[in-house]
Amino acid sequence: MSLTRSSFEHLGEPQAFEQIFEAGPDGMLVSDVEGRIMRVNPQIEAMFGYGRDELAGQPVEVLIPERFRGSHPDEREHYHAAPRIRAMGTGLELYGRRKDGREFPVDIMLSPIATGHGSLVLAVVRDITDRKRAEQALRLSEERLRLLVESIRDYAIFMLDDTGYITSWNTGAELIKGYRAEEIVGEHFSRLYTLEDARQGKPAEALRVAATLGRFEEEGWRVRKDGSHFWANVIITALKDGKGRVLGFSKVTRDITERRRAQEALLLEVTNVLLSNLDIRRLFSAISAGLRQLVAYDYASLTLYAADRKMLRVHVLDSSPDNAVATEDLWLPLEGSPEGSVFSTREPLSLRSLDTGQFEQGRLQQWRSMGLKSGCWLPLVSHGRPLGSLNVGSRKESAFAEGSLDLLRQLANQVAIAVDNALAFQRVAEEKEKLEEEKLYLEDELRTEYNFEDIVGESLPLKRVLKEAETVAPTNATALILGETGTGKELIARAIHNLSTRRDRTFVKLNCAAIPSGLLESELFGHERGAFTGAISQKIGRLELAHQGTLFLDEVGDIPLELQPKLLRALQEKEFERLGSNRTIPVDVRLIAATNRDLEGMVDDRQFRSDLYYRLKVFPILVPALRKRPEDIPVLVHYFVQKHAQRMNKRIETVPPEVMQALVRWHWPGNVRELENFIERAVILTRGTHLHVPLGELKASPQSDAGNVPTLEAAEREHILRVLRETKGVIAGSRGAASRLGVKRTTLNSMMKRLGISRADL
């Protein structure tokens, strides 16, 4: 007897049943009372590796491991004697056997089918290999966790139900607290507290805080089975279900009695240091150092009351480097701030969380802006007179447990005495406004030297450029650096990056003139494997590499016209696609572009897109040519002499005056780069301590011949032609014209193209 699709017609909805059979997610097969396979669906074929034709008429035992085949016919006959639906998940360990002999776990549902041709059986087979692996991994993980908890002897780790009764007890708990598991499991955890703490309701409060905040931490005295006390660090964590309901708690206790004793000894040592400092600034440093030894924190400050202003002045003792707000001295009113509150009430204040309505418009808002989540404020009182407050904050909630608070209270008492003594030995008569102005002035004077250490020069034109770079740096605006070749445009770009908020991210450079136009798009945007011939692997472009950093496009005027719209879109939309991909990649890039070409003229000549030009020209910076700042030449000469002499292990002490005059008079068409290359060559030629310069190469002075040179462009063209004739038309190489001029080969080719120089002119 065979089962065809028409055989389903008597079931009432043959078409629907047919669709379910063929498209069902599980494997399905139909067999007769003798166990012969009548029909299978595609999922059975995929699961067991047999085709339909191979299975038709075969006994179902072909799909069962050999070790079960002998007993299976009896089980089949028993089933046919009392046909019934047997659902999945009955707990039977069932296995299937693939065509290649591999076994795998299965779950099977059996359902009898009565037809006009006799009784059939529908079997739904599900491969549960992944489920079995997951169950085994879970069992293994639970066993490892149990063994891990049991092996920890330095920590008492145990579980509580939602009302505080102990449900588990590890070896560490037995060692620390003295109770065996059978003695303590089922008891309420409050019996582990001191009698006084239990009467004050501290156990219930701990569970309430843990249930509300998810976690509770404190330090305090606990009691062992023998009645002895020990100082403990306690962490209680609430265990919740998916709906946020508390199922119980985990409790970790550590005996830190020895640490407590060490802290008390350290407190005595810190006190001696504090009382020996009478200089207020040194005292502040000593307070900060003492605090760091006693407690962990992220921010510490001291407030002192100024009677003339009836306000508290905040002195920052210690803070994270990225907390800009925290580094400023502030004045606080006595009302509306935690510092003012503890000063007025002379009572300490501790907040486990700063997300509170208290002081909402005051100091807490500033603390939260610094990323702080909990804080502690302690009054400074000496001889019955309030002086101010000691304040510490942390980026963790509930950071200051009872033990830490106790130490801070003791430290605050000693700080108050030390501050009172220091104030008695000094007079505070400085005008804050004057100090602030001097500070700003000195910072302004030092800023150029500090932030532009790679840029040498003191001329007004150069300082003007540096001031412009300093102005635009923090804004993230696009900067366009204009200037002749060799003037140091890349150094200005790097300085802008180093002064910006992106200084900790990547500075990515791309010279658009140094890369063939056909590869520039791939270099800028990247490509996928197979995007074009030779693309054997994926490549990440410079734009993607510069994400959250700065992208410097040098010689931006050499970007081909057909590539400019894609660059413009990436800048405006802040997204792009790699070559060969349709996936959009978001990107956050600060762009700095540079060129020695006349972009505005190129726009007029339709060689550069106007929309891209205006997108680049948000903040243009014109770097002056070296001839426009001749007063910088002596400084640069000495700088380059020392740089290359040190590298070559030479000792050059002086530059002859006539040499320096000649160097200052020369117009340096290659600018600073040409000057450095020229000085390097001079250092190589120098044998003694006086710089030897090949003055024969400096044949004319632009000042003396100014009347014979009608324009700067003509002078530049004539100089390039002279060098090309001397090198017999050779451009590249160590003896080529590009090296002589101190410029790159590609740059010289661009200059020759711009000036209309061809081989016929040589």
Helix, strand, or coil (residue 74):
helix
Write down the pLDDT at residue 3. 45
Q: What CATH number should be reported for the domain whose range is 152-255? A: 3.30.450.20
Q: Which CATH superfamily is domain 453-622 in?
A: P-loop containing nucleotide triphosphate hydrolases (3.40.50.300)
Tell me what pLDDT residue 460 has: 87
CATH topology of domain 629-761: Helicase, Ruva Protein; domain 3 (1.10.8)
| CATH architecture of the region 260-424 | 2-Layer Sandwich (3.30)
In percent, the amount of the chain with pLDDT more than 70 equals 84
Confidence of residue 426 (pLDDT cuts 50, 70, 90): low
pLDDT in tens, 650-692: 888 888 888 888 888 888 888 888 888 998 999 998 888 888 8
- CATH 3.30.450.20 residue ranges for the chain: 5-132, 152-255
DSSP H helices in 598-744: 599-604, 610-616, 633-647, 657-665, 671-685, 712-726, 737-741
Q: Predicted confidence band at 703 (pLDDT cuts at 50, 70, 90)?
A: very low
Residues of CATH 3.40.50.300 domain(s) within the chain? 453-622
For residues 712-733, give the mean pLDDT. Answer: 79
Main-chain phi, psi angles of 359, to 5 degrees: 55, 35
- The ranges of the chain annotated as CATH 1.10.8.60 are 629-761
* Average of per-residue pLDDT across 471-485: 92
What's the maximum distance between 2 C-alpha atoms anywhere in the chain? 122
C-alpha 172 chain-centroid distance: 38
| 623-638 pLDDT per residue, tens | 999 988 888 888 888 8
Using pLDDT thresholds of 50, 70 and 90, give the confidence band for residue 267: low
Q: What is the DSSP string of 355-419?
A: -SSTTTTTHHHHHHHTT--EEEEEEEEETTEEEEEEEEEESSTT-S-HHHHHHHHHHHHHHHHHH
453 — pLDDT class (breaks 50, 70, 90): low
Q: How confident is the model at residue 5 (pLDDT cuts 50, 70, 90)?
A: very low
Pairing of strands 479-482, 590-595: parallel
CA angle (748, 749, 754) in 5-degree steps = 95
Quick check: 648 and 631 in contact, CB under 8 A? no
Mean of pLDDT over the chain = 81
pLDDT, residue 58, reads 93
Its pTM surpasses 0.85: no
Higher-confidence position of 195 and 438: 195
Note the pLDDT of residue 479.
94
pLDDT at 442 over 50: no
In the CATH hierarchy, which fold is given to the domain comprising 5-132?
Answer: Beta-Lactamase (3.30.450)
Which of 132-136, 250-254, 531-535, 676-680 comes out lowest in average pLDDT?
A: 531-535
Which tokens hold the place of 728?
Answer: 């017999």
- Give 488-502 pLDDT, tens digit per residue: 898 999 999 989 999
Mean pLDDT value of segment 30-55: 92
Q: Quickly state the pLDDT bin for 275 (edges 50, 70, 90).
A: low
Distance CA 639, CA 636 (A): 5
> What pLDDT does residue 482 have?
93
pLDDT at residue 709, rounded to an integer: 42
Q: pLDDT tens for residues 564-600? A: 999 999 999 999 988 888 788 899 999 999 999 888 8
Domain with CATH 3.30.450.40 in the chain: 260-424
